[in-house]
Every structure is written in C-alpha cells, then in structure tokens.
Chains A and B, each alone.
Chain A
Amino acid sequence: MDRDQRRDRGGDWDWDHPQCRAQLDQIFFRQQDYIQAGSPEHRDFWTFFERFQRFRTRRDVRGPGPGSSGETPGGGGTRGQRDLGLPKEYDARYRINMSVCTGDVEERLGSRPPGSGSSGSRPPGSGSRGPGPEQIADCRLAYLHFLDFTQRQSFGKLARLRRDQKNLPIHQYRDRIVDLVRRHPVVLVAGDTGCGKSTQVPQYLLASGLSCIACTQPRRIACISLAKRVSFESLNQYGSQVGYQIRFETTRTAATKLSFLTEGLLLRQIQQDPGLDQYQVLIVDEVHERHLHCDFLLGVLRPLLARRPALRLVLMSATINIKLFSSYFASAPVLQVPGRLFPIQVIYQPIPPEEQASRLEKLDPRPYLRVLQGIDRRYPPEERGDLLLFLSGVAEISTIQEACQVYATHTQRWIILPLHSTLSLAQQDKVFDISPPGVRKCIISTNIAETSVTIDGVRFVVDSGKVKEMSFDPKAKMQRLQEFWISRASAEQRKGRAGRTGPGVCYRLYAESDYDAFAPYPVPEIHRVALDSLVLQMKSMGVGDPRSFVFIDPPPAASIQTAMTYLREQGALDRHGELTSVGSLLAQLPVDVVIGKMLVLGSVFNVVEPVLTVAAALSVQSPFLRSAQHNPDCATARQPLHSNQGDPFTLLNTFNAWVKVKGERGGGSRKWCRRRGLEEQRLYEMVNLRRQFKELLKSHGLLEAAPPPAGERGQRRERLTERRKLHQLKREHDLTEGSRRKVLRLGEEGEGGSDSGSDAESTDRRTKDKDRPGQSTDIQEVKFKLRHNVSELQEAALASQDLSSRQQSILKLVLCRGLYPQLALPDEHNATRKDSEQVFHTRSKQGVVIHPTSVFASDPEVLRVPEDEVRELGNAPPPSLTRHQLLSFVTLLETNKPYLSNCVRVPALQALLLVANSVDSNADCSRLVIDGWLELELREPDGALKVLSSALSLRADWERLLLARLGQCQNQGQGLGRGPGQGLGQDQGQGASGAGVSRKEMDKLSEGLVRFLLYTEVSYSLRRLTAFQTQNLYVGPQAETEPPQNPLFPGVEAKPDPIKGGLRVSAFFTYNCLADARDLYSECLRTFWTCPTCDLYMPFTPLERMQHEAACRRPGELQDAAAAAAAAEGSKAARSLAAPSLTRVYHCDVCDEDLTLSSTEILKHKRQHMASLK
C-alpha cells in the first residue's frame, strides 16, 4: 500500500528501485561528497529515507497537523515586541540550519532533454526519465533531515557525556586539584570507587595547560580502557593527544600529551631515561594496591623528585592507608574525595561450626544457599539486582556453583555464572550480560571481581572472607597458593561492589568479631613474592645496594638476600654482587630470569625460532582450558599436539599448528581453537610476546636482523591497501565495542556449569554472535594481521615444526640450562606406583607430584627407564642403567599438594654434567656428586673419564662462545650510543668481540653437544644422597697437598679447594674431593690409554688423561683453536674461560729446565724420564 502511494507521488518513479536510487546518488552522494555512495552512512541514509517518506505519507493522509490550519502566528509584534520576521507558514524545513548545494549537478542533469537519459538500461517502471525536480527535492529534504538527525544524535551523546562528568563527585574538586599540583611536587588524591579520579584527574591537568603527562596503572587492560575513555571524553578520540603504552602496543606519538602505561613500563623507561625528562607530570594510580612494581616505582621516584624539582607527582589511591603514602613523600598534601556509593546494609551470618569444612573437605554449600533463599523470600523478583559471591578459589567456586545450580533450576529465578581467570574470555564476558526479567544473576567469583573486574547492577554481595594468595617459600624455592582471611580493606572493597548502582546488601559469612580481627590491609606483594626480577632490575638501574634501598615498606632482608644468591647462581650477578653481561641483558628482558636465560642461550644455537616460541608460551597463561580437559572430543582433538618430550614441546606444537591454521584459514582459527579447548587469546599473546623477544634479541645483536622483505612493489601496495582496510575495520570495531549486551537465557548457565559439555554449548552461542551485526569482525584476527606478517610467521613455525632429534635435544638442553636449578628426580619406587601417584624430588623439596595438566601426568611411562634395560632388578638397590631421566620444570607450586608444571624430560647424566653448578668427583671419577644432592656411580671408570672429559671441554667451548657472543652484542649496544649507566658488564669479554663468533664454531659446538646428549652410552646409577651422606661428603682441606701441577686447563689455576678438599679444576668441577673409602690410590694410578684424537698410547692418571683430552686437537682443528685463542687474547674473561692456549711454560724437575711445551708434549717429556728411570 505504501509502495503504491509512493509511486503515485512520483508518477512512474520507483523509490525502491536501486537504479532510481543510484541516479540520486549521482547528485548527492558522489565520491567527492560529504557522504559517499556505498559507505555505511549512505546505507543509513536510505534507511532513514524510507522512514521519513512513510512519516510524510502518514501525515499527508491525516491532513495537516492540528492547529496549523491557516492560523498565522501573531505576526507583527503584539504588545510592542520586536518583529522577528518569521515566515507565516510553518515548515519543518525552517528548523534545519543547513543547506545542500547541488545546483551544479542538477543543472547538468536538467540540461538533458527528457528521454535522452540512459540509453541502454532503462530503469524498469521509471520510464525514460531521470529524477525530476520533485524527486530531487524530496531527496534533498530527506537528506537535510538526515543530517539534522545525525547532528542531534551526536550532540545528544556529547551533552550526556558532559552532564555525567559534571555529576562525578570529583568534579567539584577540579580547581583545587589543579591548584595543589601547581604548588606541590607531590599530591595524594584519595577517593573511593566511583569518584571518577582515574578518568578525570588526568583531564583536569591536561585542560589546565600541563602536558607530557604519564599515568600508570597496575593492569594493562586498564591502560587501554582508560586511554579510550579519556580520549573519548576529551572528544579527541582520533587525535593523538591521549594514548596508551603497553607491552605490545603503543598509540603514543609526538603529539601525545597524556599517556596511560603500566608501572612496569614506566620503570623500563626510567632505565633508558633516568631523569624521565620526557614527562612533566606523573600520575601513579591505585597505589593502595601495593603491587611490587608500584612500590618499587615510588622508591625510584622519591629521589628523582629531588633531582627534578619541576616534575610533578600525583598519587591516587582508595581511601586506604593514606598516611603511609603521604609521610613517605614528606607529608605531601592529601585531597580526599568522597566516593559515590549508595548505602549498603551489612549482615553478619557466620557459618555454624557443623557447616564449616575442615581443610580437606569440600565446602559446605548450605550457608550460601540460605542467602539465595533469603533473597528470594525477602525481595520480589520484579526488583532487579544481581548477586556477587566471593570465594577463595576455583575448586570452591565449582562446589558452590553446583549446589546453587540445582537450586536455580528448581526455582527458575537465578542464572549461576562462575568468574575466575582460568575461564575462557567468552565465559568471563558472560557476567556482563543481562538477565531476563524476574531472574537474577548469581556471579560466583574469586577476588578478581574485587578490583580488576567491575560488574554493574550488583545489589547483593556474599563475602566468604577468604582469599587464596600466592606466597614464596625461599627455603623450598617454591610458590605456595594458600587460603587466608582477607583484610578489612578487602572486605570493604567487596562490600562496596553492592552499592554501585543503588542501595545494596552485603552478607558476610563470618562474625563481626572476625572482621575486627582481620589485618587492616592486604599483605603487599613485595612481602609475598620472590624478588629475583626486582633485584635484577634494581641492579641494572643502578639504584645502589638493594639491601639499603628505601622502600615505602621494605621487604625482609632475607628475601633480598635469597634473590641475590639466586641471581649469582644464575650467573646474572658476579661474586661481588655486580651485574654480569648476561645479567644486564636479562634485566632488559621483561620475563622471568629462567625464561630470559633460555632466550640468550637459544640464540647461540640454531634453535632460535622454537626457543622464541617456547619462551613466549611459558610466559603467558596456558592456552589449554582446564574445563576442556575432561571433554573427550577436545582430548581427542588435542592428541596430535601432545609431545611426550614435555609440556613446552606440546606448547610449541600447538603454536605452530595454530600459525599454520591462521595462514590457511585466517579467522577460521577461532573454530579450530574451540575444537581443541584452546583459549585463542593466549595464542595471540604468545605471538605478540614472541615478536617482542625477537626484537629484543635483534637489538642486542643476538640475532641477525633479517633483510627487509624484498617484495614486489605490487605486493607491497597490496599489503598497504589491506592494512588500510584492516585499520578501518579496527576503528569501526572500537566504536561499536561494548555497546551491545546480550540477554542471558534461563538454563544457559549450564554450559559453564560442570566441567563438561561446555564446548558444544559455546559453539552455538558463538554462531549466534556471528549473526549479530557488528560482531562479525574478529577483532583479534584484525589486530593479528595488522601486527604480524603471517607468511613470515609461518616460515618460523615451519622451521620449528619438524625438529630433528638433534635439534630437539639441543632445544631440551637450552631449556634445561635455562631452567636450572629447577630439576626433579623420579622416585626410585615409581615403577611400582599407580600412574596418578608418581612421586618426584627436587633438591629442596621432597615428594612433589606432576600437575594433572602436564603430559607426564597422563603418560608417566616415558619417564621410566625402558624395561629391557632393567637387567638386574631387585639386585643392588640403585639399578645401573644408561637411560636415567630427570625432569626440568618451570614452576613448583603448592596448592593442596606441591605440583610441578611445564616439565621437560632430559637425560640425567648428560644434562647434569652440562648444566650443574657443582660437580664433585672421587679419584677415578667413577663417583660423581652433583650440587651436593645427586650421586652418580659409573660402572666403568674408563667410560666415566671419557664422559667427564667431553663434558668439560664442551662446557668450556659453550661458555667461551656465549661470552664472545654477548661481548659482541655489548659492543654493538655501545656503538648505538646508548646512554651511560647502561652498565653492560664493563670489564668483561670485550676483547672477544674482535673475533666474533663464527657460524662454524657454533655448529661444531652444537654438533659436539648433540653427540654427547644422544650417543653417550655409559651405565650408571642415580640416587639422592641421604642426610648422613651429605654430612660426610668431602675429604675436606688437606694439610699437605701437592702443588697444583699439571693444571687441567691452562689459564684456570687448578688449586686445592679450601672447603671440599681435592682439586678445583674448573668453576664447577672439583676433582677428588669426595671422601671415598674404596680407592685411596687411584688418583696416582696410571693406566694405559690411547688418545682417540692423536693416537698417543701411554699410561695416564685420570687427571692427566683429562688434561690431555682437553688440550689435544686433531691436526686440522689446530688452526681454528689457535685462532680462537688468539682472538681471546687480551680478554680476561675469555681467557679465564679456558680458551685453550696450547703451549705454556713447564718446569721439568728432572732436567731442571723451563720448557715451552703443549700439554701433550709435557706428557711425552715426562714419559721419557719415566722410561729412563726403569
């Protein structure tokens, strides 16, 4: 009907016909016009047009509006008023303050005689005419109304924004804040949740004319959302005045006046720019959360303020412990801002003793169910308001969730949703969806909802009063996740979550007396965690002795000491506690020391690509969703990704397979991940981190910079166009993001409910998402494509996909050395235990188990020595075999049990000899003790000597090449003109740079290592030392020791070890220090031996033989070695690392002469005397 009418108006003109519309587009929406045909706005216009036409038609049918019939407004100023000269007849057109000039185009069209329009394809039903003046006028009018409409829409948003800003509690303190910051170097703004400090204070300062403002946040996600919010509020969304900087991305440009960044990143900037001259104002937000980095940052800023009086520091916190911060900064002025919270009623409902769970029992859900029932009884379902329930951990959440689900299914009045960080992001996101009328959400959460996640619409809070917190046990070198009572500050924070949108109720499942007994504040992170990385960073920033650094709340001295010792063990600090060159490099890598070591080590061999991936994978949360583990479909789909070499290899396979899918199917990877129960977000994080690592290694000269891609010009242009398109997609996404919230269905919660069946459900949910407009772009995919060159990544993945067994063993060694001393030994009785009860021991903690997520938990067989090797089982207690294995692991975490996660299996003897810090032997080297806790007994002394001596020379070479490599990169770093105070190991390894490290040498080393790892066939037993054995391990210092003759390695002075006794042969190897009843004389016993290299055949003592082997080179290699030695000349470090100089001065007692001889020659010389004596 509508249609007919419209057609009537235009004669044979059909508004719905695309060609008719196209003709009008030719007039109004050309490429050079404000709105172009084909753009989203153009589509919006035509939709608007239809509505507008319908509206006009309706009005025409109804006749002119009421009161407008011929009445003229009182024209001609009545009562002597001024005549405004308004038109007599009302027309809505007069209300629009715009006009569209299309005269030129119309003229052109109009000049055409009717009928001569488009000759070929005539719009059907439109006759031969183009749009007549009437149609053009209609279209113009609609266009004007459309423009007016969009103007009003945008202005409405702007007005609402300004009104909301004005209504924030902090608004009335605006001038006061600006004034305080002007007059004082440090100001503390303390305000509770919802007062608007994080978004407004930076804007106030910006508006007052200050620029170069940095605002730190404890969480990355907050940096992004705040930058977005603030740039939005300052109407500068696409200008570049407000930006953020986080680990992987920065939107900061030269024009940026305000940037949000993480505390860690600001600290790194101080490392480069010690005066922070790039900033005028620093805002440190959320200082009350007391994160490690934040505490340290405050400690660094305090002296910096004294050096830069113009710098302004604004601390922002909740109204917690204000005095502490103010007094740390010389009584800085405090501005307290009230929060915007509605009144909250607190109800104490302590759990009766019979319902309190003992340590090992499951939580009793009854107290929680009573709260739900109580709410149902007391509040009518029409009154909206959701429930937020705080529990300590994931296990507790699923217990309570199960019970609540039964109740919810029964009453049909609740939707139960879990919330914790190990859920998939899609599941986490669900807590923001809206429940249908008459139904409440019940969100069961860890303390993640206390600060990190804010959910609006919560009216009821249930607080269990418990939290699980990570602590560090320095003695066992173990992290521990333990349950504690929360602090009063946390309890208040949890309570506050009920009053964000209206008055609320907080049920505390503990007594008021308990509350009073809570600690006032949570334990700051600096008192709970291992300080290795912090101390390393302090060292690298040159802030002086970490033990005397003035922290706001100093950590226990023992923690710092533990960290220093650990860093020394790791080679990051030298004996005097100064940074080594490895250490200074590690300090610049934003990862754990062990991961950093892996990266550095990996760059020496040709396994860089896989090491980059593994290092990245081990630095993010596992992509494997726990909930999918029990899903048989996921388990089957995951199977091909598993590697029984260890979890890092599984991660490597997974990443490579994902990159492959990305290359082939792009956005299809989302589905691929879902099938396998993988959280794709983690893979995106991995790929970003991986890239960052790669750039860091490149910038330190540890990786050759790849030649610029030599793509064709056309290709490049193509990529450029694609990028532009992607950028546009990203912008559109940014705008629509978060604007839509889904309504939850009753019963939908089941999908996260128990740990099974979640996959199918979430699949159909996602497909629905896809149908929603605006949701179809996978923004992660877009960002991924913007940031990475997929084909390049694929090459890298390919390079690490099918690792040969040799590459695999090198990669293992790199991981193992990186992770050292994190090694675990399988218990000797594991063969007789069930798969689920396999026990392991680390040096400092006995009886640990493998985490159920590890590949070795499902497949412990591979850790056992092959059956056929167990020749004489039940004979001597420790069986003597060739294939003992150890586990190298990333974390040891105690929850209800101590668990090892991310494990790799490594061949025991070989790995220990290559990575251990301390190897002690008896006289014939048949007995070795590693790091004072593992004992190896080798069956054949001859084989033992051979193994030991290869290990010694391999390690020496490895060390030398590594240092040369680092020396190289250090020189490059200096060449780049980095500022002073970089402190890259001033006096180390510099001389080595001249020679560099040749590929050939490295290949030779890796060849040697592979041979050693794969083909060492020595039979040995492996066991832990008992406490008694440990006490009587060493012979101790000997009163009369023979002078250190024949040092094994020239350059290293083998001298008696003052504590262990015996001879300290290299930094890690001490010969003949073990108290050994059996062989008192083997030290001086000579046995006949043929050197496999030079064919020399003569009797040697064990020490002599090792010495010979260390120095003996095949004739062809002689030159290489000489060249290397020459290169090492002048370098103290390199020399001390056993660069073999072949000859040295030898004083022969028999001839009484100083001779310059090589080690072999010395032996020959001595043999002459021996022969003549006989």
Chain B
Amino acid sequence: MELMTSDLLQNTFMCELCGLSTPYTYYGQKPPNTRAIVLLEECFVTKDPFSPDKERFLVLGSKCSLCGSNACIGSDCSLFYTTRFCMRCVNKHLDQFPTQIQSELMKKKQPSNPAVP
C-alpha cells in the first residue's frame, strides 16, 4: 500500500473529453481496502479526498470499451451501461441504448447551457 502510493503517485489520469487531470494511485478492478466490493471494469482510482476516512476510494474514470480513450466518470464525458462508453461513442451508437438513456441524454442536451456554476 505504502509502496503503491509512492510509486504510482506520479501517474496522472487525464480525461480525453473534458481535460480533467488528476493523479491516480491505482489502476484495476480491485482497489485496496475495498473488501467485498469489486469494480466491473478496470478503473483509474485514487483515495477519496473528501471523505474523513483515509481508506475510501474514488473512481476517476476508465477506458472506453469501444474506442479505448480515457474518460472520466462525469456524466458529460462517459456513461456506464454494463461497460464504459465515452460520450463520443454513445452518441455514435445512441440508437442501441435503451430509451431511458436516450431520453435522459436528450433532456440534458435541451437546455443549451448546462448548469456550469
């Protein structure tokens, strides 16, 4: 664990869609201290800086299962539906997604300027 933090700290995850960039401490499906929890995809993970508990993990993003680009988990950049899709790929294959997701995305697009505080 100690070794991991110092070794991998230099690694930086960068979302290829929004440009968010932040160091990650783990890449894979079983971040440390997650016990019974397993990730269903290989993720870039860091320690949750907003939790009082040191051992909480935070998934930053993963690779799009179609194009392989790094995408953060922000809803503007990617979507997880059994596997990860970056928004570019989602839009390309929109018709294959369930209607719930389609209408959700439509709704989000309508207000031309999304809530950016």
User: Is this pair of chains taken from one and the same complex?
Assistant: yes
Residues of A within 8 A of B (CB): 28, 32-34, 39-41, 65-68, 71, 73-75, 77-78, 81-84, 86-87, 90, 94-102, 147, 151-160, 162-163, 232, 235-239, 728, 731-732, 734-735
28 intermolecular pairs with C-beta atoms under 8 Å apart: A40-B52, A68-B99, A77-B96, A78-B95, A86-B98, A90-B100, A90-B101, A96-B80, A97-B39, A97-B41, A97-B62, A97-B84, A98-B40, A101-B36, A101-B37, A154-B48, A154-B51, A154-B58, A155-B74, A158-B22, A158-B49, A158-B50, A159-B20, A235-B23, A235-B49, A238-B47, A238-B54, A735-B52
Closest to B58 in A: A154
Whether, in the assembled complex, B91 has its beta carbon less than 8 Å from a beta carbon of chain A, the answer is no
- A739: min CB distance to chain B, Å: 11
A90–B52 CB distance below 8 A: no
Whether, in the assembled complex, B113 has its beta carbon less than 8 Å from a beta carbon of chain A, the answer is no
A74–B95 CB distance below 8 A: yes
B contact residues around A65 at 8 Å (CB): 100
B39–A98 CB distance below 8 A: yes
Known: A87-B82, A155-B73, A157-B50. A34 touches B96 (CB 8 A): no
Known: A94-B82, A98-B39, A101-B36. A162 touches B97 (CB 8 A): no
A33–B49 CB distance below 8 A: no
Whether, in the assembled complex, B11 has its beta carbon less than 8 Å from a beta carbon of chain A, the answer is no
Whether, in the assembled complex, B60 has its beta carbon less than 8 Å from a beta carbon of chain A, the answer is yes
A contact residues around B82 at 8 Å (CB): 86-87, 94
Within 8 A of A (CB), among B37-90: 37-41, 43, 46-54, 56, 58-60, 62, 66, 72-74, 79-82, 84-85
B contact residues around A152 at 8 Å (CB): 73
Closest to B116 in A: A163
A contact residues around B96 at 8 Å (CB): 73-75, 77, 81, 83-84, 86
A237–B60 CB distance below 8 A: no
A101–B73 CB distance below 8 A: no
A84–B50 CB distance below 8 A: no
Whether, in the assembled complex, B112 has its beta carbon less than 8 Å from a beta carbon of chain A, the answer is no
Residues of B within 8 A of A (CB): 5, 18, 20-23, 33-41, 43, 46-54, 56, 58-60, 62, 66, 72-74, 79-82, 84-85, 92-93, 95-103, 116-117
A34–B34 CB distance below 8 A: yes
Known: A86-B82, A97-B84. A235 touches B98 (CB 8 A): no
CA A155 – CA B48 in complex, angstroms?
9
A159–B72 CB distance below 8 A: yes
Closest to A255 in B: B6
CA A92 – CA B53 in complex, angstroms?
28
- A1036: min CB distance to chain B, Å: 78
Q: Which of A82, A158, A160 has the most CB of B within 10 A?
A: A158
- B117: min CB distance to chain A, Å: 7
B93–A82 CB distance below 8 A: yes
**Which of A34, A77, A162, A734 meets B36, CB within 8 Å?**
A34
CA A682 – CA B92 in complex, angstroms?
64
**Which of B41, B59, B62, B103 meets A151, CB within 8 Å?**
B59
A732–B38 CB distance below 8 A: no
- B84: min CB distance to chain A, Å: 7
CA A28 – CA B21 in complex, angstroms?
34
**Which of B37, B60, B99 meets A147, CB within 8 Å?**
B37
CA A87 – CA B100 in complex, angstroms?
13
A41–B40 CB distance below 8 A: no
Q: Which of B47, B50, B84, B93 has the most CB of A within 10 A?
A: B50
A162–B22 CB distance below 8 A: yes
- B60: min CB distance to chain A, Å: 7
A33–B35 CB distance below 8 A: yes
B contact residues around A75 at 8 Å (CB): 96
A67–B99 CB distance below 8 A: yes
B contact residues around A81 at 8 Å (CB): 92-93, 95-96
Closest to B51 in A: A154
Closest to B55 in A: A34
Q: Which 9 A-B pairs have the closest CB atoms?
A: A90-B98, A235-B49, A67-B99, A74-B95, A34-B35, A97-B80, A94-B82, A154-B50, A97-B40
Known: A87-B82, A96-B80, A97-B84. A155 touches B72 (CB 8 A): yes
Closest to A76 in B: B96
B contact residues around A83 at 8 Å (CB): 96
B59–A97 CB distance below 8 A: yes
B100–A67 CB distance below 8 A: yes
CA A648 – CA B53 in complex, angstroms?
45
Q: Which of B36, B60, B79 has the most CB of A within 10 A?
A: B36
CA A140 – CA B105 in complex, angstroms?
27
B49–A95 CB distance below 8 A: no
A86–B81 CB distance below 8 A: yes
A contact residues around B58 at 8 Å (CB): 151, 154-155, 158
**Which of A87, A99, A162 meets B21, CB within 8 Å?**
A162
A contact residues around B56 at 8 Å (CB): 154
Given A97-B40, A158-B50, output 12 extra A-B contacts at Cβ < 8 Å. Answer: A34-B33, A34-B36, A39-B53, A73-B95, A81-B96, A82-B66, A151-B73, A154-B48, A155-B59, A158-B49, A162-B20, A238-B47
CA A646 – CA B66 in complex, angstroms?
81
Closest to B101 in A: A90
B99–A71 CB distance below 8 A: yes
- A60: min CB distance to chain B, Å: 16
A contact residues around B97 at 8 Å (CB): 73, 86
A contact residues around B37 at 8 Å (CB): 34, 98-101, 147
CA A159 – CA B78 in complex, angstroms?
14
A contact residues around B18 at 8 Å (CB): 159
**Which of B54, B102, B117 meets A160, CB within 8 Å?**
B117
B contact residues around A87 at 8 Å (CB): 82
- B53: min CB distance to chain A, Å: 7
B contact residues around A162 at 8 Å (CB): 20-22
B contact residues around A101 at 8 Å (CB): 36-38
CA A173 – CA B31 in complex, angstroms?
36
Known: A155-B59, A162-B21, A735-B52. A90 touches B99 (CB 8 A): yes
CA A66 – CA B102 in complex, angstroms?
12
- A315: min CB distance to chain B, Å: 28
B contact residues around A99 at 8 Å (CB): 37-38, 40
Closest to B95 in A: A74
Closest to A101 in B: B36
Closest to B77 in A: A159
A contact residues around B116 at 8 Å (CB): 163
A contact residues around B74 at 8 Å (CB): 155-156, 159
Q: Which of B35, B38, B47, B97 has the most CB of A within 10 A?
A: B35
B contact residues around A95 at 8 Å (CB): 79-81
CA A68 – CA B97 in complex, angstroms?
12
- B108: min CB distance to chain A, Å: 15
A33–B50 CB distance below 8 A: no
- B57: min CB distance to chain A, Å: 9
- B75: min CB distance to chain A, Å: 8
CA A96 – CA B41 in complex, angstroms?
10
B39–A68 CB distance below 8 A: no
B52–A236 CB distance below 8 A: no
Q: Which of B33, B47, B84, B98 has the most CB of A within 10 A?
A: B98
- B37: min CB distance to chain A, Å: 5
- B109: min CB distance to chain A, Å: 17
CA A950 – CA B39 in complex, angstroms?
86
B contact residues around A86 at 8 Å (CB): 81-82, 96-98
Q: Which of B20, B37, B116 has the most CB of A within 10 A?
A: B37
CA A978 – CA B50 in complex, angstroms?
43
CA A937 – CA B5 in complex, angstroms?
79
A33–B36 CB distance below 8 A: yes
CA A32 – CA B34 in complex, angstroms?
10
B36–A100 CB distance below 8 A: yes
CA A147 – CA B102 in complex, angstroms?
24
CA A239 – CA B23 in complex, angstroms?
13
A732–B49 CB distance below 8 A: no
- B90: min CB distance to chain A, Å: 10
CA A86 – CA B99 in complex, angstroms?
12
A731–B36 CB distance below 8 A: no
